[in-house]
Every structure is written in structure tokens, then in C-alpha cells.
Structure 1
Amino acid sequence: MSLPQDIWLHIASFIPPLQLEDLYSVNHILFNLAMDQRYQQISLSYLTRKTVRIMERIRDPVIAERVRILYLHPHFVKEVLQKDSSPSNSTILSRLGDFAYHIRDQRLFGRYRSRSPLFRFKTFDEFSLFMANTLSSLPNLVDLHVAWSGLPTIADSPVPIISSAFGPNLRRLWLELSLEKLGLMLPKFSCLPDLEELDLFLRIDHELDPKHYDNILIRFARIVNSLHRTLRKFAIQLWEPIDLSPFFSSLRRLRGLETISLSIPVGNPHLGDPDAVTDFLNLHSASLRSLTIRASELGEWGLTGTSHLSNWFQTTFTPVRLLRLTSLEISLKLIPLESAMICIHKFAGTLRSLVLTGRHLTFHDVETVTSAFPSCRRRLESVRLGSVTLNPQLFDMLAEKLPLLNKLELSVREVVPCEGDYPLYYKNGLDRHDQDESQLVSFYYRPPRRKSESIAHADEVL
């Protein structure tokens, strides 16, 4: 069919991605869309035959220009190093083994197939050169995810491979690595002049001198400072509590920074000196539009409860002034609501969007949150809460307290006909408990009240 290209593109927008890949033979437009879908996002983790085939394919310039997102987990480096350090294949036993595989493959496939793609490369240097040449030939790569952790025995071997994917077109970089490995990567960041999003997930592999870590953090802060023209989003998450005070204290104002995400370890010292974090946030009071805060308990250190975290939270965020903040997201899984209310009260005057998730919020909790927005500062347009117990009085309160609301998302745990009713559950025989349907029927079909009708101003309720 001779249809204009925009019509084919519109048709393709309704086709699921996996089915779109099967339509590559229809015409050249769907062929290009299918190829983009197949190669726009690739992952390189373990050295399988499929991985080698993918690397060979993306060496083709026509395929390479389609790659936009790359997930790189350098476990394969360890495989190659182990093969490289293994005894020579010239022994009689190894030759007999190769001969046995050769006979087997001839019977199964009619031709010789190597036991492993590792045997394509005689040395690690040969493999490293192959990988570096492959990844450096991706001209349109804009999003790179690197998870280099749990591999302390491979030293700095992956650095040439990982850094070969760095290029001037890269806009987002997500790194999961230890502070020691971050130090090895620092000289390679000069290849990222226009980075817009930087996500860090840091951990510690070895117990080294704290001054060594401080030196790495200060040097990394200088690199971040060099991105002051382009960096829009910065996120940091820690596997265990690490004193990041040298890093925050060394940062200058990043003029374009609009979004910050902080994941705070529950244990001491959390993110370090509260004053350093406070100064960093206040330094961006004029540009910051979105702030995400959550607590993490991923490591084995500092599982001391949330009392110390509450004190750190209050000391850090009470002096913060963010004049143009419009979006606030806080996970309440490990952060007490009382601590979160410090930020809500501080930024209520400018907020347009609020997200509070991670724990069950009672009717009183929701009332406390909405009361932080007095009539003179009722500007909230989007709210996401959860989980909650749904009842008509909750809708009434939200409609009355937040009259400008046009999007409401609720994660509902249970539904009751009236505030104060207890949810009724019965055992369904599968070790699960379901709520009594009579309560749901009473909620949905009870006669509407005047206040309940006021929730009609919401465009979307989930």
C-alpha cells in the first residue's frame, strides 16, 4: 500500500513493540521502525554466543546508529581473565577435549562450533580491543547504565571498555560502583561535556584510609562542577552510610540543576554533615524545581532504626529554602511522617505536585498533610498518596482542602462505607484474605452527599 510515511508511523504507534519487530518485511518504513525497536536498547552482561552476535551486529554502522541505550555489566571481563590465566590449551588433555567437542558438533550441527565465545579471543587484550572498538562506534548513544560492583578481583580491567562508551552525545549516565572504582573512572569523565542526568549508586568494596575516599569525592565534585552549564538532574544513592561531606562542600552552583534525588541511609553518618547538604540545597534555591527524598537500608551497616535519621532529617531540612520548588516526592517507608512534614510545611507555598508513598496513611494522616496548605497557599494540582483506606469522607476532605486539584492518584488498601468503619475480611481458602464485598457495594452505591459531589473537579482518580 502506498501510504504516506506519517500514516505508517501512526499505524505503528498502535502495534506492540514485540509484534512490530515481526513486521520488518512489510515495507521499508516498518523495517526501519522494527530495526530501531530491536537495537535501540541493548544489554551486555555475560559473554554468551548471543552477546557476541549482538556485538558483531552493532559493529555495522547501519545498526550502530540505531543504538540509544546501553546496559553494561562487565561480568564478562572476569570470564575472559579467568580463561586468559588458565593453563595452556596445548596439553594433551585439552587437545583431546577440543577434539571431542569437534566430533560432537559435527554430529549435531554438521560443522564445528566452539564450546564458548571466549575462544574467539586468544588474550584479554585482544578481547578488550574488540569491545572498545565496538562500543566507541555508537554515534547516537545517549543513555548509559553501568553496574560495576561485586567484582573486586578484576581491578581496573573494565575501565578501557566502559570509558569507550563515553562520548559527546551522551546525555544520561547511571553508575553503580564503589568509591574505589569511581576513582579509577575519574580521568575518563572529560569525554562527557554535555551530560544532563547523572545517577550514582555508590558502595564501598574495601576499608581504605578515609583521606583516600575524601580525595576521590573532592576530585569527583570538580568533575560535576565542570557540568554546570548542562546538568539538569542529579541523583545519589548509597549502599551503606558514607560521609559525603567533602563532596557536597566542594560543589559549586550548577546553574541548570532542576531535579535532585537523595536516598539517605538509615545508619550514621547518613549522607554526612547536615550543614554540607543544607548548603548544597540552598545553593540551588533559585533553580531547583523537583526534590525526591527516600531512605535506604540496603547495606549491613547502621541498622539502628529511624530515630537517628529523624534527627538528621530535621537538622538538615529545617534551614533549607527552595524558592521555586514545585514538585516534592517523599517515600515514607523508612522516613517518619513527622519528618516528612518538615519539608511539606517548608515548601507548601510553591508546590504543585506532591507524592507521599511507602506506608499506610490514615484519615488523620491525610488531614495533617492537607492542613499544611492553608487557603492562601492552595496551589496543589497533582497528588499521589498511598496506601489509604478509601471512604467518602476522604474524598470530601480532599475536595475541600485542595480545590485546585486536577489529578489524584490513590493506592487503595481497602474500601469502607464510612470513616471509622473497620474493614471486614474473610479467608478465601488459598491462605489469602479478601475484603467483604458488601462493604465495597455499600461504598459504591450509597446515595451521594452534597460534599462528596464536590470531588467531581478531579479529572483523574486512581
Structure 2
Amino acid sequence: MVQNLPIEIWLYIAEFIPPRDFVKLVSANRVFFNMIMNELYGDLSFISADPRIFVEKLKTLQTPSLASRVRKLTVWPAAIREAIRVLEPVEPLRPVTPSARRKIKGKQPSKFESVTKLPILQDFLRKSPTSPKKCAPPKPTLPKPETRLEMFLAALRTLDNVEELEINWSIDKGHKDYIWKFPFFNDIWQSVGPTLRRLSIEVKLSKMQDVIRSIGALPNVEELELTLRKEAGDANVEDSVVPDFVNKMKASLCSLTIKTIGHQELTFFTLLEEFPHLKTLALSMPLDSHHLPSVDGFRKFIINHPTIRTLELRYTPCCRESSTDGFHTPGDDKHILYSNLSLPALQNLKLGLRLPIPRSGRSSFLRSIASLNTTLVSLTLVDRSLSLDEVKTVIPYFARHSLRKLSLFAKNLSPQLIDVLAKTCPVLGSLSLDVQNVIKSETVGSSSPPPKDSDVVGFVQALFGYAVDLDNDRWRYKTWSLTDISVMRWAFGVGHGYDYECMKAIAYVVPTVRSFSGKGDMTERGTRPSKPGTTGKLIVDIGEKSKPLDQ
């Protein structure tokens, strides 16, 4: 009777069961069996140039029930090429290491070695039966390269439920005179194109056309990540290649990430069309006057997408180091690229601060970015560990009554840093700090170097002494609305992890804190952060091969 429950009820029940317990409930309903199998065979990767691993995966995919469970496909074209065209590999001899050679040279003769050289014993040893040497069974012969190619193309045609595709063709050790003689992207796009929701491509710009030449319609792609590389000597590519590809997904695209590596002229913004559902935009590239020839094209792209809720802007240096992006106009103190732009739906901003922060405290760049939206909820500052002076310069541009979440890297965690943040962001609810050092005290504008060793005890005592006066019941931060605090730092012999002593000290002087590191409580479990997007749990424990097709 229990098994006759609707599938929706079983799925609802599964939400309250730890994933490791699914294997115990396989007999209760098939939904748990399917969840386990989907987890095991959901990820398929062709990233190894080993032909035996390659062929083994292809044989596994000949089972239709397993191929239909694949949801994520990772492809390294260079590895696939080598796995297909390589001939039968020869087992290499194990080299003799210097340490082994020293052991051989310095080996002392056994005390029985001279005895066994006696003629009578040698004659006995020759007549004694010896057990035959055990030989390892021969490895199966690999199919011919032509057969491997046919097996691979046949396997691609069985992948009809793939929702995620990652292509990495940034590194290719193949000879320059070797031509890519068996393009397979046509089969990939035909198989996974209709069901694809997330697409990630990291490729040399010169090979981009090879990847997308045979691409068809991608009606359901919601998330696109592009990493475009270019090295000195690479062939030039038409300006329309990248924007024409991105424009194919304009009807469904919600998230767009573009990262460039190497010197490239950022001309594609002019040719990008409108994406009516775009909510997330992440740009990591040298957005300066040297690489961005068309300011109007970039500004038009931003203006055409008022639906953006999450924006990431990270300036990456390219062919030359500079103290400015070249867009500041001294006369009217405006920023040519960002001035007078508005994103009314913007809630979350992630900003790279690789360019130097002016000592004067006046920055047309920061002022223009902060003016994109006056009701910003979340701010994340990356690419620079901020000094106390820099924190006092940057944060006031964004400190408004709407800011609820702040994350930044700081050189030093000190009572003065906490005080600056408390005064500048009075309604902040969540604060995440990644610090290099913990110190007892620092002074604004001081040029003296901080202590090399962290002084956690000194920080705790100084913070308590400054913020709390028990005799007079004075709590300096009792009106601060902070509810969650996270402090991370590197520690010798420990690595990168949470500093609970510092978090406890801050929680003691800020009465409203109720959570550490976004966990909802102030326990010390999980001292190391889990990988983003993972739960840290495996549905079933099968040793190191937790995902047989993902290796």
C-alpha cells in the first residue's frame, strides 16, 4: 500500500532523508534507486587521453539506461583526439631513481649469501622444484582508431538528457601540422542542443569557429560562460564570431559570463543584441581605453538590459600595467564608461579592485559604479586586500540603508576595522571578512608595517576593552543590526579556514549576532568551507570512484 503513493509524495519525502540513507530505502520505492543511479552516472567527462579509460566509458554508454542518466557532459577536444588516434600503448619501464640507485650501490651482502654459493647447495637449489612465475593477464587489445571514433560518435547520439555542457580547448599539445580530421561538434550539438540549459566554453579564440561552426538552435540555454584566450601569434578572428554565437541564445539567456585572457580588442559589445531575460552579468577583462575601442557599444549594452539583478565587474590587466583605466575626465571629474548609467533592478554587485585606489579618496570610477543603483543589497569586493585607509575610502560610496550583506578581503583584522564597518554600515546584516593577519590595533594613515605574527588574544582583549564597559553597562555596538559574521584567514599548519576565536569575540561585543558563516547558528562544525555548489555528502559510498564516468 505504501508503494502506491504518488511519485510526488515520494519526492517530497526524499527531501527530508539524508542522501546517504537512500541506499537503505531502495526497496521502499524505485524513486530512491533512480536518485542513486542519477547521482552516480549523472556526470560524464572525456578529459583523459588514456585510450583504455576512453574505451571503457564508451562501452558503459552502450547501456541505454545509463546513457539517459547523464546530465552533465565535460569535453576536452585535445584529450579526445589523442585517445582516438593513439596506437596500442607500450608499458614504460620504471626508471631507477637516485635514491634507489644509492640503495643498490650501498647494499650489504646478506649473511647467508656466501653460504648459498657452496657447490652442494647450488646443486640442491638447481634440482629443487620452483613455482612458476605468476604473470599478469594480458590487457585486452584496443579497438582500431576508426572503430573508437565510431564508438564515440555513437555514444554521443545516446546522450539525449544532457543539461550541462563544458568544453575546454584552451590547451592543445598536438603538433601544429596535425589537422583536426574528425570534427565531432556537429554530433554534440545535435544530441545535447535541444535539452541544454547551461553551457561553458573555455577555448582559444582562434578555435572558436571550429566549436560553433555546426551549432544549431539552443532554445533552452539559460546560463552561458565564455573564457576566450588569445596568445601572441594566434590568427585573428572576425569580430562577429563571438557576438553571433551569443545572440543565438537571446530568447532564453538569463546569465552571461565572459572572461578574456590575453590581448584582445573588446569589440563584441557593439554587436550584442538585447537579452530580455538577462538577470546576471559577469565581465572579467581589461575594461580600459586601450582594449575597449567603442565606449558607446559597451554603454548601449548596459542600457539595453535594465533587468540585471547581479553584476560582476573585474578589471584584469593584460599587456601593460596602469594606475588608471583611462576613462577619467579631470575637467568634470566624470567617468566616461560608467557615468550616468542606471540599473534599476540591480541588487548584488561583485567588484574587482585591481586598479589602485586614489589616496585622495575621490574616485570617479567608484562613484559611478555606486550610482548604478541606490538600493544595493549585497556588495562583494575582490582582487585586493584592503588596508584600513582603503576601507574608509571605498565603503562609504556604497554604504546605504539598503546594504545588508558585505564581503571583502582585508590586510588586517583589528578593532579599528570593526569600528569603521559598524559606523559606516549601521544596518548591515551579514559581514564576511577574509584577512591576512589579526592584530591588536592599527592607526589610520600609519605607514609602519604591522606585526608579522597574528595576535588573536590581543585582538580579543582590545576589542572587548573598546566596545564593552560592563561597570556602566555600555555596549558600543548594541544598535548594530549585524546577525551573521564570518572571518577566514590562512594559518600555518592549518591552511585556509574559519577563525572561530575572532568570530566569537565579535559576536560577544555585537549582541545581535546569531550565526557564524551563514550556518544559522554559532557552533564550530565544518571548520573548512565546502566547495561552492556542493553539499559535501555522497549519496552512496563506493570508494574513490564515486562517479564512474567522471574521471
Structure-2-length-normalised TM-score = 0.66
Q: 1:163 aligns with which of 181, 185, 189?
A: 189
Separation in 2, partners of 1:206, 1:418: 48
* Whole-angstrom CA distance in 1 between matches of 2:460 and 2:242: 58
Q: 1:142 aligns with which of 150, 154, 163?
A: 163
Asked whether the 8 Å contact 1:356–1:384 carries over to 2, the reply is yes
Pair 336,396 (structure 1): closer, same or farther in 2 beyond 3 Å? closer
Distance 1:254 1:206 in 2: 33
Structure-1 residue corresponding to 2:325: 309
Conserved? CA contact 2:68–2:161, under 8 Å: yes
Which residue number corresponds to residue 459 of structure 1? 483
Change (3 A) 1:363 1:204: closer
Cα displacement string for residues 39-72 of structure 1 (whole angstroms, at most 9, x for unaligned residues): 2223211243334323322332221232221211
Select 1:11's aligned residue among 17, 21, 32.
17
Equivalent residue for 2:263, pick from 215, 219, 241: 241
Aligned equivalent of 1:404: 427
Structure 2's unaligned 5+ residue stretches are 4-8, 92-132, 330-334, 469-473, 487-551
Instruction: Indicate if the aligned counterparts of 1:156 and 1:184 stay in contact, CA closer than 8 A.
Output: no
- Report SS of the residue matched to 2:381: strand
Tell me what 1:199 maps to.
225
State the number of aligned residues.
Answer: 414
SS in 2 for 1:191: coil
> Do structure 1's residue 69 and structure 2's residue 57 form an aligned pair?
no
Q: Distance in 2 between matches of 1:193 and 1:21?
A: 34
Q: How big is the shift at 1:262? A: 0.9
Tell me which of 180, 185, 199 is aligned to 2:211. 185
Amino acid at match of 2:82: E
**How far apart are residue 251 of structure 1 and its match?**
1.6
Query: Residue 381 of structure 1 contacts residue 404 of structure 1 at CA under 8 Å; is this kept in 2?
Result: yes
Matched, 1:291 2:311: yes
Q: Distance in 1 between matches of 2:449 and 2:465?
A: 17
Q: Deviations for 1:103-134, whole angstroms, at most 9, x for unmatched residues?
A: xxx96444x4236xxx31342xx333322221
Q: How far did 1:413 drift?
A: 2.5
Structure 1 residues 262 and 83, CA, compared in 2 at 3 Å: closer, same or farther? Answer: same
Matched with 1:346 is 371
**What secondary structure, in the 3-state scheme, does the structure 2 residue paired with 1:181 have?**
helix
**Equivalent position SS for 1:389:** strand
Structure 1 runs of 4+ aligned residues shifted over 6 Å read: 20-27, 421-424
Q: Is the 8 A contact 2:381 2:407 kept in 1?
A: yes
Query: In 2, distance between residues paired with 1:461 and 1:140?
Result: 41
Q: Percent identity?
A: 25
Question: Do the aligned partners of residues 209 and 32 (structure 1) sit closer, same or farther apart at CA in structure 2, a change above 3 Å counting?
Answer: closer
Question: Is it true that 1:57 corresponds to 2:49 in the alignment?
Answer: no
Write the distance in 2 (CA, Å) between the matches of 1:378 and 1:138: 50
Show the 5 A alignment for 1:1-400.
Answer: 5=10, 6-7=12-13, 9-13=15-19, 15=20, 30-48=32-50, 49-80=52-83, 82-83=85-86, 108-110=135-137, 112-114=138-140, 119-123=142-146, 126-151=147-172, 153-155=178-180, 157-160=182-185, 162-163=188-189, 166-204=192-230, 207=233, 210=236, 213-214=237-238, 217-245=239-267, 247-265=268-286, 269-284=290-305, 286-297=306-317, 302=319, 304-307=320-323, 309-311=325-327, 314-334=335-355, 336=357, 338=363, 341-373=366-398, 377-400=400-423
Deviation for aligned residue 1:24: 9.2
Q: CA RMSD in A?
A: 3.6
3-state SS of 2:402 partner: coil
- Matched with 1:428 is none
Structure 1 residue 266: deviation in Å? 7.8
Equivalent-residue separation in structure 1 for 2:266 and 2:454 (angstroms)? 47
For structure 1, the 5+ residue unaligned runs are 99-105, 426-432
Determine the C-alpha separation between the residues in 2 that align with 1:72 and 1:220. Answer: 20
C-alpha contact (below 8 Å) 2:379/2:403 kept by paired residues: yes
Which amino acid counterpart does residue 293 of structure 1 have in structure 2? L
